[in-house]
Structure 1
Amino acid sequence: MYYVSIEIDNLLYKHFLEYLSDLEIESMLRSVLTPPQRYYIRVNTTKISPNELIKRLNLRGISAYKDEVFEDAVWFPVEGPFKIPSAKKIVVVDKKAAESIMLGADLYGPAIIKTDPVKSGEEVNIVSDNGVLVAYGKAVMNSDEALRSRRGLFVKVEKSLYKAPKLRDLPEYAEGLFYSQSLPAIAVGHIARKFAQQSAVDLNAAPGGKATHLAQYGIHVIAVDRSSPKISKLKYEVERLGLNSVDVLLHDSRYLDRDFPKLKADVALVDPPCTDLGVRPKIYQKVTYSTAMTLSKYQVQFLKTALKLADYVIYSTCTTTAIENEEVIKKSGAEIVDPEISIGAPGWECAECRRFLPHIHNTPGFFIAVLKAKKAP
């Protein structure tokens, strides 16, 4: 089944039909091709108050607003879609870069797939690898230099499909005053704070959003990931934010209970690899039922390990299938606890779970469940 450039196979379509109508499935999948109307950041309250950060951003001409629910969440309006000016020269970029550039990010050398011969100062159109026009800009170096070095800024974007503030260019970013994070992900941190009096273990910690969120409230976090590059990014974020209560561990967290038998925490966070069907905005994606089923097996592994490490576990994903969400929760065998948040909607056949549907809640697609480990008799 095709929904513009989102493709799911027939088995996954039938799976969604158990919970949604055909029109709802189409609306949900189409919505991830566009960004939410709000772009969120989490204020690093160890360094600045939300009101003070908003004042600083306003002085830079950036419209910023406090969230209505979470005191450390600030959002910016996302504008667009806009008509992109035409240019004679074309640069083709990879999917990940295109999804950032369509929001206004500039183009850097590593993202180039191919390019017309371009001289510094020339106008170019930036196109994704499947042909979607995402931006117009001007080259700041010659294309042969950009291809040779694969480093540095290649195109300064002047008009993108959508527009959000270029936050990484701000001194407030370099000072570690905020962390870019979606509203549902910020909600996870606030839910976890209710159960984490002193300690937490994050089994899928990179790039560090949830771990650093808990750390900024004085909770000691053991942040685990199995990928060395991801661990490096995690360490960078911890340092940038100036937090000293995060211990970073390179390890396959599915085996933490076996390899670190003394490891215990008040709460464990599980945000495992998933099909990412809720991530916005997307250029394109193809997902099969088989892929979702394979990932769910890993998700259950992470979850069952987490339940051995902590009395409470916060499980979250950025996807919308029940296979990877409610069905994983059921397989854990744990007690489901009400997260007590006012945003989102009840899960599918799980009233205590929380779902964020992109076509309804104007957020990424997201799922949250709180589990309580059952005591051995």
Structure 2
Amino acid sequence: MNLYGIEIDDLLYKHFLEFLSDAEIDSLFRSITTPPPRYYIRVNTLKISPRELVKRLNSRGLAVYRDEYIDDALWVPVEGPFKIPTAKKVVVVDKKAAESVMLGADLYAPAVIKTDRVNIGDEVNIVSDNGRVVALGVAVMDSDEALKARRGLYIKVEKSLYRTPKLRNLPEYAEGLFYSQSLPAILVGHIARRITQTDAVDLNSAPGGKTTHLAQMGIRVIAVDRSAQKIEKLRSEAARLGLDVFIDILLHDSRYLDRDFPKIKAGVALVDPPCTDIGVRPKIYHKVTFEAAKTLARYQIQFLKTALKIAPYVIYSTCTLTYIENEGVIEKAGAEIVDAGIEIGAPGWGCRECRRFLPHVHNTPGFFIAVLRGARKEP
């Protein structure tokens, strides 16, 4: 079944039908092919106040606003969709790059799948690998060099399907004054701060959004991830933000953290495991089956059960929308579900204490948050 380029099988559609009507499912999947109307950044409050950062960004001609609910969250409007002019030359890029470029990001050489022969100054259309035109840009490198070097800026985007400011080009980004992060993900940090003022373990830490958020609030974080490449990205982000002093990084499969590092304990543990990513916006295309969701759910419960052995409280979050990966997982954890204390979003499906963010209802990425209290007593 194809819903606006998002392919799901009949079993997964029936799974959603247990909680949503046909019309709601249609709206949900249509919404995830477009970006939310607000693009969020989190202020690094160790370096600057939200008010001062708004002032600095406004002085650069950017429309930046403070969130009505979260103190350290700012947002910029997402404009579009726009019509993309046709160019004579084409560059085909991978899915991840296309989803960034359609918001106005420039194109870097590593993301190129194939390209026409392009010279510096040529206008080109940037096209996703499924044929969708996402932007018009101008080459700042010729195609031979881009394919040979496989690094550096290749196409400077002039007109994209949607438009957000190129925030990463700003001095404020280089100074580590903010981090790009969705509204629901920023909420996770604030829930953690209410639970502990001292220490935390992030079992799925890379690329570092939640880890660095806790660190900027003065919480010592043990950041764990099994991917060496992702760990390096986390190190880089922590250094850019000036937060590395608060973070201890551990390259390890955190499903076995309690077994291999039994002395690791903390006031709260974060679990944001691999998932089917259905809530991530915008999507060029996506393919998910019910069997894939089931497989991931078995994986997710391993992280969650380990987390409950090392902290009295666990915050479980995902960027997907299936019941089986969210409420279904926390039901199997065998722990008390605690009210997340969030006033925005909606209650979970059959879980009043949980929180769901639905793209077609809340104009955010799809997201799920639950807080669990385990049997271990607080120190």
TM-score tier, shorter chain, comes to over 0.9
Aligned: 1:201 with 2:212: no
> Structure 1 residue 374: deviation in Å?
2.4
Q: Distance in 1 between matches of 2:178 and 2:120?
A: 34
For the 8 Å contact 2:11–2:290, the answer to whether it is kept is yes
- Give the SS at the match of 1:249: strand
Q: Distance in 1 between matches of 2:320 and 2:165?
A: 25
In structure 2, give the amino acid aligned to 1:308: K
Provide the residue aligned with 2:269 in structure 1. 268
* TM-superposition CA deviations, 1:259-302 (whole Å, max 9, x none): 11111100000000000000001100000001000000010000
> Structure 1 residue 151: deviation in Å?
1.3
In structure 2, give the amino acid aligned to 1:149: A
The correspondence of residues 294-309 of structure 1 with structure 2, limited to 5 A, is 294-309=295-310
In structure 2, give the amino acid aligned to 1:190: H
TM-score calculated relative to the size of structure 1: 0.99
Q: Distance in 2 between matches of 1:332 and 1:134?
A: 42
The correspondence of residues 1-377 of structure 1 with structure 2, limited to 5 A, is 1-243=1-243, 244-375=245-376
- Give the SS at the match of 2:295: helix
In structure 2, give the amino acid aligned to 1:171: P
In structure 2, give the amino acid aligned to 1:60: R
> Structure 1 residue 197: deviation in Å?
2.2
- Any unmatched runs of 5+ in structure 1? none
For the 8 Å contact 2:311–2:376, the answer to whether it is kept is no
- Give the SS at the match of 2:210: helix
Q: Distance in 2 between matches of 1:200 and 1:89?
A: 50
In structure 2, give the amino acid aligned to 1:23: A
- Give the SS at the match of 1:265: coil
Q: Distance in 2 between matches of 1:315 and 1:269?
A: 6
For the 8 Å contact 2:35–2:282, the answer to whether it is kept is yes
Q: Distance in 1 between matches of 2:76 and 2:329?
A: 34
- Give the SS at the match of 2:185: helix
Q: Distance in 2 between matches of 1:309 and 1:289?
A: 31
> Structure 1 residue 375: deviation in Å?
4.6
* TM-superposition CA deviations, 1:14-52 (whole Å, max 9, x none): 000000011111110111100000000000000000010
> Structure 1 residue 343: deviation in Å?
0.8
In structure 2, give the amino acid aligned to 1:374: A
Identity %: 74
For the 8 Å contact 2:40–2:182, the answer to whether it is kept is yes
In structure 1, give the amino acid aligned to 2:94: D
> Structure 1 residue 143: deviation in Å?
1.0
* TM-superposition CA deviations, 1:145-176 (whole Å, max 9, x none): 11111111111100000001111111100100
Q: Distance in 2 between matches of 1:170 and 1:200?
A: 31
Q: 1:108 to 1:9 in 2, by over 3 A?
A: same
Q: Distance in 2 between matches of 1:160 and 1:312?
A: 43
Query: Post-superposition, which runs of at least 4 consecutive aligned residues in structure 1 deviate over 2 A?
Result: none
* TM-superposition CA deviations, 1:82-140 (whole Å, max 9, x none): 00011011110000000000000011110111111111111110100000110001111
Q: Distance in 2 between matches of 1:119 and 1:254?
A: 49
For the 8 Å contact 2:309–2:376, the answer to whether it is kept is no
Q: Distance in 1 between matches of 2:217 and 2:114?
A: 45
- Give the SS at the match of 1:303: helix
- Any unmatched runs of 5+ in structure 2? none
Q: Distance in 1 between matches of 2:75 and 2:16?
A: 31
Q: Distance in 1 between matches of 2:141 and 2:175?
A: 29
Q: Distance in 1 between matches of 2:291 and 2:211?
A: 31
> Structure 1 residue 142: deviation in Å?
1.3
TM-score calculated relative to the size of structure 2: 0.98
Q: Distance in 2 between matches of 1:206 and 1:214?
A: 13
- Give the SS at the match of 2:83: coil
Q: Distance in 2 between matches of 1:162 and 1:360?
A: 20
